[in-house]
Structure 1
Amino acid sequence: MKLYVINLDRSPDRLDRLDKIFRKLNLDFSRIPAIDGLHLDEKFVANVRQHQLWPDPFTRGEIACFLSHKLAIEKVAAGEDDFAAIFEDDVILSEDAAEFLKNDDWIPETADVVKIETHGKKVWLGKSIAVKNGYSVAPLKSRHIMAAGYIISKPAAKRLDAMMVQITFPFDHFLFNPKCHVFEKFEMWQLDPAIVRQAGLESTLSVDRTQIAIVNKQSRRASKTFRRELKRFFSRAKTGLWGMSINLFTREKWKRVKFKP
């Protein structure tokens, strides 16, 4: 199984850090030169924003991230392996990662995408299948954003690449959020516990996203903020009760996927 790492030319320090992590686990990877948002054409950015479905204006970093994942997915689609893993360059790997990245014999035959990362939020998992050494895989049935580590099959990569002609959502939502209309077209699985998590490095997307958050906060009136928070409270309470019912009355799980160091 080939491993691909997305990395900006202006971030050699991240590549060096990740190279040490992979070497320690006796893993090889191929670098995907990431698209740099600083170099995107202004007219192209404006055209993307004109057709986006995401509520906030896309940042240059978000557009570049989407395009960079598309480059990696194109590599998988054109490759010879049945499955390949794609990583962003700010990840940490479990000490057990090599057991799952050197071969694909543990992956369900029908799987299109296996998320091997965790975001730390609760997710809905279907009935799990034990694989090895206390790990299991389960159908992923709810949103689990972030796309710093996932495995994708060659046929799924071909299908996904065809869906990425237009940039409509940030990539992690595009792939792992059911509300973005791609999730249900693929058989998604989750490795539990996860073998990948983000290292907490400063995101190349964080500055633009912070500026947008500040503008949004300033434009909100107090009454609007109160209604928003009240709606969020009841939504979380409803989700919590729903999750409890899943755990009590089914063989599925509403849980936080942990990272195993």
Structure 2
Amino acid sequence: MKLFVINLARRNDRLAQMTRELQRLRLSFETITAIDAEDVSNAFLAQHFTPSGPLGKLPKGDQCCSISHKKCWAAFIGSGAPYATILEDDVRLDPAAASLLGDLRWLPQGIDLLKLEHFGPESQRVLIGARQEIGRGRSIAPILSRHTGAAAYILSRRAALELLTMDRWNVPVDHLLFNANVSPVAEKLKPFQLLPAIARQEQRATSDIKHWRVADRGLSPALIRREIVRAYYETRLLPRQIAAVLKGTAHLAKVANAELAPENAAPAFYPEAQVLLRQRRLA
């Protein structure tokens, strides 16, 4: 297995921290230089992204972050390894990552995409299918609702090749991988979740893409239309999700790892999770 760390060249501090962390865990890695939003043109980004999509126009920082992941996938294919772990340079890892990422023989065959991260507040629940125990006090399960964030995941060569065949994207990388509401490729790859998670992204106020998101916002008729379209896509699979809960083939599960408690709070549930909980209580 190959392990890649995505790092902005101007953020040597983060690379130093990740180097210390991975050395402590005795995990070797290769650094992939991230695409910097301060250094690329809109013409370059237009080669990789459509003008708009289910989530509206993507901020420049999100586009650059997504292309950086694409660089990782290409490097992974070139390495000849059967699997790769992708980490962003501001992720925190549980000590269990040492054994789990050091030897992937625990990973069942046929799983092409495994999310290692918990994204959101500790109280968040994610809709999952049947669990498979993998030992070491952990399990994996198919993700059946949106669980975004792409700071830590494992993918197979098949998944990487599938992703690299895509021409231009219309959603950011975390939605592409882990939000089947807006991503057909996520439906195809059928991502799994590690439970509990072994990774969590630092929720820093100084995020390198946060200011690009703020700069691209503004109240306007276009924004209102975008939010209406987004709401449609984000609930597109809701009937299927509700049916799975009522049949007993899916349930809401906590993903958070108490040892990686979030620094900043966020809404406790995604909208679809709130609806699913209400439906389950009424059933």
TM superposition score normalised by structure 2: 0.78
1:192 corresponds to: 195
- The residue number in structure 1 matching 2:72 is 72
**Matches for 1:225-244 after TM superposition, within 5 Å:** 242=242
State the SS of the aligned residue for 2:253: strand
Shift of 1:75: 1.5
Q: Distance in 1 between matches of 2:29 and 2:50?
A: 36
Separation (CA, whole Å) in 1 of partners of 2:29 and 2:248: 40
Contact 1:7 1:32 in 2 (8 A): yes
Q: Distance in 2 between matches of 1:107 and 1:175?
A: 18
Change (3 A) 1:186 1:86: same
Say whether the 8 Å CA contact 1:115–1:151 is kept in structure 2.
yes
CA apart distance, 1:187: 2.8
1:132 aligns with 2:131: no
Contact 1:52 1:167 in 2 (8 A): no
Structure 2 equivalent of residue 11 of structure 1: 11
User: Is the counterpart of residue 122 in structure 1 residue 125 in structure 2?
Assistant: yes
Residue of structure 1 equivalent to 2:207: 203
Does the C-alpha gap of structure 1 residues 55 and 82 become closer, same or farther in structure 2, counting only changes over 3 Å?
Answer: closer
Distance 1:191 1:97 in 2: 11
Instruction: Determine if the alignment matches structure 1 residue 212 to structure 2 residue 211.
Output: no
RMSD across aligned positions (CA): 2.7
Amino acid at match of 1:109: Q
Conserved? CA contact 2:61–2:213, under 8 Å: no
Residue 160 in structure 1 maps to residue 163 in structure 2: yes
Q: For 1:21 and 1:10, how far apart are their aligned partners in 2? A: 19
The answer on whether the counterparts of 1:94 and 1:260 sit within 8 Å (CA) in structure 2 is: no
Cα separation, 2, equivalents of 1:175 and 1:198 = 16
Question: Is 1:101 aligned with 2:101?
Answer: yes
**1:171 counterpart letter in structure 2:** V
Query: Is 2:116–2:193's contact at 8 Å kept on the other side of the alignment?
Result: yes
Establish whether residue 142 from structure 1 lines up as the match of residue 145 from structure 2: yes
1:46 Cα offset (Å): 5.2
Amino acid in structure 2 at the alignment position of 1:204? D
Contact 1:124 1:140 in 2 (8 A): yes
**Is the Cα–Cα contact under 8 Å of residues 50 and 170 in structure 2 kept in the other structure?**
no
TM-score normalised to structure 1 length: 0.84
**1:56 Cα deviation (Å)?**
3.4
In structure 1, stretches of 5+ residues that fail to align are: none
Q: How many residues align?
A: 245
**Structure 1 residues 2 and 47 mapped into 2: Cα distance closer, same or farther (>3 Å)?**
closer
What are structure 2's unaligned runs of at least 5 residues?
260-283
Between Structure 1 and Structure 2, the one with more helix by share is 1
In structure 2, C-alpha distance between the alignment counterparts of 1:45 and 1:82, rounded to whole Å: 30
User: C-alpha separation between the residues in 2 aligned to 1:199 and 1:17?
Assistant: 12
Distance in 1, matches of 2:69 and 2:149, equals 12
Which one-letter code corresponds to 2:157 in the other structure?
Answer: K
Aligned-partner residue type, residue 6 of structure 1? I
Aligned equivalents of 2:115, 2:215: Cα separation in 1: 30
Partner AA of 1:135 in structure 2: R
AA partner of residue 89 (structure 1):
D
Match of 2:92 in 1: 92
User: Shift in Å at residue 180 of structure 1?
Assistant: 2.0
**Counterpart residue type for residue 251 of structure 2:** K
* Preserved contact between residue 128 and residue 252 of structure 1 (Cα < 8 Å): no
Identity of aligned residues (%): 33
Deviation, structure 1 residue 249: 5.4
Tell me: CA distance 1:73–1:48, structure 2 relative to 1, closer, same or farther (3 Å). closer
In the superposition, relative to structure 1, how do residues 96 and 260 fare at CA in structure 2: closer, same or farther (>3 Å)? farther
CA distance, structure 2, for counterparts of residue 138 and residue 49 of structure 1? 31
In structure 2, the partner of 1:250 is: 248
